[in-house]
Structure 1
Amino acid sequence: MQESVTYQAILAEGLAEGRAEEVRRVAMNLLKEGMSIEIVSKVTGLTVEQVQQLSSQETGNVRE
């Protein structure tokens, strides 16, 4: 059965979003374990700025 181009595009987008969410989850766990932002960036492939954002979000969640 051949899937439509639209279906394939939606599926690919969903898979990409899932992978990106998993990378963010791993980065958050590494930050919680005390790894530096630079190391988390290297390990996950996220930019330093993206990891800093995640770190700020985590700090904000702890205070709430």
Structure 2
Amino acid sequence: RSQRIRTYNYPQGRITDHRINLTLYKLAEIMEGDLESIIEPLIVEQQTNQLTELNDALA
């Protein structure tokens, strides 16, 4: 079974990104295009992973 990436819970107004364990109660805003609160944590996670990989490669 494939992993869940994101769950949208409309009755609770909740969106959960399972990759980075992020839960926000801003579903309406996100569906209207306000994606910054989802995109920014994903970018930070990616940058952290890249820096960790680089550090491991140099060690």
The answer to which structure has the higher helix fraction is 1
TM over 0.5: no
TM-score computed with the length of structure 1 as normaliser: 0.41
TM-score computed with the length of structure 2 as normaliser: 0.45
Q: Which has the higher contact order (CA 8 A, sep 6+)?
A: 1
Larger Rg: 1
